Amino acid sequence: MKELILLLQADIDIQQAYERYEDYQKGRGVLFMQQLDVVLGLLKRHPESGARYAHPYRRMLMRDFPFGVFYDVQPTRIVVVTITDLRQNPSVIHRKVFGPA
C-alpha cells in the first residue's frame, strides 16, 4: 500500500472546514472528519479510483459534503494537495491544485 502524504495546504483546508462546520452546527465538523477518514481510507486502498482532474491530479468526492480531495498518485506515495469546497469558481480550485501561475 502506498504512503499517504497530506501537504500543508490540505492540512489547512481540513482545519478550516472543520471549524466552519462546527461553527455552523455543533458536531457537524466531527461528521466532516469522519467522512474525510472514509475517503482517505478508500484513496489509500484504490488510488486510481478518483476521477482524473487535470494531469497529473485526480479528484475524489466526499459524500454528504461539497468537497473534493485533489491528489497525485506517485510510484511510492499518494500526495493530497488540497481538500476544497467545490462550490467555488473553477479557476480558484485550479489555482489551489496547481498553485499560482
Which grid cell sits at 13?
A: 483546508
75-85 tens-digit pLDDT = 999 999 999 99
Q: Higher-confidence residue: 81 or 100? A: 81
> CATH class for domain 3-98?
alpha beta
For residues 34 and 36, what is the distance between their CA atoms, to the nearest angstrom? 5
Parallel, antiparallel or unpaired: strands 3-6 and 77-85: parallel
CB neighbours of 77 closer than 8 A, spacing ≥ 6?
2, 3, 4, 5
Domain locations in the chain?
Answer: 3-98
pLDDT reading at 101 higher than 90: no
pTM: 0.94
